[in-house]
Amino acid sequence: MQQSLEALETALRVLTAINEKQHPDVDDVHALRTYAGPQPDGMSLEDFARDVIQKALKQWGEVRDAGSALG
């Protein structure tokens, strides 16, 4: 779950930078690619960050739901 939270935070930093018309931190972009794999050809960095957020939230929800089922 920690990795999905880190991916979420990183993707939000990237989107914030893009929204503020700034270049995202190179380390954050690299981290996104580490979490989610290579950025698909033709996909904007903004869309890639959104995709990472969706995947992280899904993974986070699955972990939470599994914990609820056990308790």
> What range defines the domain where residue 42 resides?
2-57
DSSP-assigned states of every residue in the chain = -HHHHHHHHHHHHHHHHHHTT-PPPHHHHHHHHHHH-SPPTT--HHHHHHHHHHHHHHHHHHHHHHHHHH-
Q: Return the pLDDT at 59.
A: 83
Q: What is the pLDDT along the chain (71 residues), one digit of tens a residue?
A: 578 889 999 999 999 999 999 999 999 999 999 999 999 999 999 999 999 999 888 887 766 666 666 65
pTM of the complete model: 0.81
Any domain includes 68: no
Any domain includes 67: no
Q: Return the pLDDT at 11.
A: 97
Any domain includes 12: yes
Any domain includes 29: yes
Q: Return the pLDDT at 19.
A: 97
Any domain includes 9: yes
Any domain includes 64: no
The total number of structural domains in the chain stands at 1
Q: Return the pLDDT at 2.
A: 74
Any domain includes 49: yes
